Structure 1
């Protein structure tokens, strides 16, 4: 791992005078060198003249090389066109769409066999002076996008053809070992990020399966899966027969802080889906251990249980404990039905009077409600842990991309 010690100081002094990155592995002190791409890459445009029946691919900014059948379906229009004019892209080659390079549509072919791409694409390979993986990560930095902005051409639509890339510049380590070390650490971060993503998807699938088994269905008051010792039928109730219903208040984002502090310790929830609806932190709270739902906008009908003291904005309805405790079970049960009651006339809405009359089916016994609620809460804790780890890895990668390249 590169040393973080005094990296800020280095950034201010050394990097202004010498071609060195702000953050560097120990043992490397030489200046990096500025090169034009024409000295590092060469075109490889091989036409599919023999009409080989190779799989057709395109490039997306999110996934890189992606099969046309995966992106557009098996019966997509492109799959039926003549492929003789397509380019063959061999493993170890780069390809990009010159009209979409500004959004990151560049990919590296790391498949086992050749594939086809549209003749509109640019295709190239590298020589031995630059590490392919190093270049893959450099393409993700703002250094590359600065080069695109400098050399792209066109009117309404901007293009960045291969001749412009060849003329563009990059600053790279002279020592291939340094290129390799930078590539290796970033690849490790990508692996860890993917690992957390798989865990996150698994916990989501597990929760989805358990919701189908543990919650009773409208026409069947006996759930398919229950905790030991419970056998009573579940019963239907309207929301307002069990809970009090309230609403949040208007709050300017300018009064909140992005991070929790001693001065602003209480979370503020809004209608956004990002970060589980968390808008920021405030110095006052409105409710404690209650359920919120989004009353207005694209996310109308989204229900969440909020543990602890919190504030919520005016686009949130609030369900408060009364005859029954508001908990995770009630929130999950409501989430299975609430979207059906959203009015989509104009701006989507699920107002308090409508929520009040929604019917839910829940266990009569307090202990059963608590055990189910605790189970779902634990699953959400795991989900939040994996999500936070992903966010940390994402921030770390962005930091390294900004500071390990010039």
Structure 2
């Protein structure tokens, strides 16, 4: 078949030079079913053995649409003799694996095997391995089988409530839209490149997050010490342990849910801490009545109900209203950016945890207890500012790569929708 609902099978976006309509074929006539391995995850190893076992949780969730088993952190079968006794088929490049049973959205997700030459790879528990019975360009099937064009067909075939599954017979009867091998190759290469960019920025983002965590651990004293493991050159004086209430005034927000308006003064709550922006507003009259004290440029807001201790520096001159789930810290004897990051240091987190009411639901820390939190503070304002600036720059880089990641993922999602039929 070359038509769909009376229209030619043509994607919304395609590479120049390709004009022929795609063909519609029955999946069971294009892909042959192989036998999977039935060893449980507990019977596998994370490092030992030479046989790779692609468990359903490994399909797409970690590695994208094309999987290199040797490079990915795929579990292995520790005992080759055990593996050889299993009545399952060894996979080869171009084979595809579909997760057929899971308790989450992994069901129906697919990965295509590549670069497995010389490696023994099995399709593991709760997966369905398939092998093309005719030539397909590398990468095409792995991406097509994860596209909305395929999954819109697959969703009605899934069964179960807590554990979701899809049967072999249901998948066999599905249809596939197939372009020429040349067009397949262009599509596969495009999505492989997109996946490589996503992986690159994910790694950069992960490394920066690890670096930040390490610096938070090493640039603030801990264990009662007054000296950090790492500090900027030229600073040698011991730090001080000071109560947060001695270096900043502590306030909380309104305790009643306000009457929201379409415009006015922006209203912040715990869920807005990352960006300090919101789509909720209160009237200017309500703000004037209820906020004799409000956040200003250079103040710090910190979560105190549900999520405890996540903070951010106010960088706007606009008026802001805030809910009781946030604490307002107005620094008067400490750099704002240093205060923000000191709240994320290991010693401050321990203090916040110790003073939190964990039996409350949601858990919370009272305003007076926030003021009692002990913070490590450098005596030198210059040292405070340099530490604050370092973490501010690090946060900017993390945000940059996070936004690039989101952009690339959105591009991929859009292209999966528009480049397949």
TM-score, normalized by length of structure 2?
0.77
The offset of 1:381, in angstroms, is: 0.7
Determine the C-alpha separation between the residues in 2 that align with 1:221 and 1:42.
67
Deviation at 1:84, TM superposition (A): 3.2
Per mean C-alpha deviation after superposition, the further-off stretch among 34-43 and 269-278 is 269-278
Within the candidate set 341, 344, 356, 1:335 is matched to 344
* Distance (whole Å) between structure 1 residues aligned to residue 29 and residue 50 of structure 2: 34
1:127 aligned to 125, 133, 142, which one?
133
- Counterpart of 1:36 in structure 2 is 26
Displacement of 1:103 after TM fit? 3.3
User: How far does residue 315 in structure 1 lie from its aligned partner after superposition?
Assistant: 1.4
- Residue of structure 1 in register with 2:11 after alignment: 21
1:207 counterpart residue number: 212
* Residue number in structure 1 paired with 2:331: 321
Alignment check: 8 A CA contact 1:122 1:161 kept: no
CA displacement 1:89-119 (0-9 Å, x = unmatched): 3122222342238634433333341233446
* Structure 1, 98-107 or 219-228: larger mean CA deviation: 98-107
Q: Distance in 1 between matches of 2:329 and 2:375?
A: 13
Residue by residue over 1:332-368, the C-alpha shift from the partner in whole angstroms, topping out at 9 and shown as x without a partner, is 2222223343221032112211111001110122111
Match of 2:315 among 307, 324, 330: 307
Q: What is the aligned-residue RMSD (CA, Å)?
A: 3.7
Tell me, which stretches of 5 or more residues in structure 2 are unaligned?
39-48, 288-293
Find the counterpart in structure 1 of residue 360 from structure 2.
346
SS in 1 for 2:382: helix
C-alpha spacing 1:135/1:340, structure 2 compared with 1 (3 Å): farther
Give the C-alpha shift of residue 253 in structure 1.
Answer: 11
Other-structure match for 2:111:
107
How much has 1:181 moved relative to structure 2?
1.2
Q: How does 1:27-66 map to 2 (within 5 A)?
A: 27-45=17-35, 54-60=51-57, 61-63=60-62
Verify: 1:289 aligned to 2:286, yes or no. Answer: no
Name the structure 2 match of 1:236: 241
**1: CA distance, partners of 2:205 / 2:369:** 33
Equivalence for 2:377:
362
Residues in 2 aligned to 1:357 and 1:303: alpha-carbon distance in whole angstroms? 17
Aligned match of 1:91: 92
Taking the TM superposition and a 5 Å limit, the aligned residue runs for 1:1-12 are none
Report the Cα distance in structure 2 between the residues aligned to 1:384 and 1:394, rounded to whole angstroms.
Answer: 15
Counterpart check, 1:399 vs 2:409 = no
28-37 vs 78-87, which moves further: 78-87
Q: CA deviation at 1:74?
A: 9.7
- Matched position secondary structure for 1:209: helix
Moved more, 275-284 or 28-37: 275-284
Alpha-carbon distance between aligned partners in 1 of 2:146 and 2:97, rounded to the nearest angstrom: 14
Asked whether the equivalents of residues 53 and 76 of structure 2 are also in contact (C-alpha less than 8 Å), the reply is: no
State the SS of the aligned residue for 1:394. Answer: helix
Q: Is the 8 A contact 1:269 1:278 kept in 2?
A: yes
Matches of 1:198 and 1:276, distance apart in 2 = 23
Alignment check: 8 A CA contact 1:85 1:119 kept: no
Contact (CA 8 Å) 2:50, 2:120: kept in 1 or not? no
Residue matched to 1:160? 166
Report how many aligned residue pairs link the two structures: 377
Find the residue that maps to 1:222 and give its secondary structure.
Answer: coil
Residue 220 and residue 188 in structure 1: after superposition, are their counterparts in 2 closer, same or farther (change >3 A)? same
| Equivalent pair of 1:89/1:109 in contact (CA under 8 Å) | no
The answer to whether the 8 A contact 2:135-2:181 is kept is yes
SS in 2 for 1:303: strand
Separation (CA, whole Å) in 2 of partners of 1:90 and 1:46: 9
1:367, 1:274 → 2: CA distance? 27
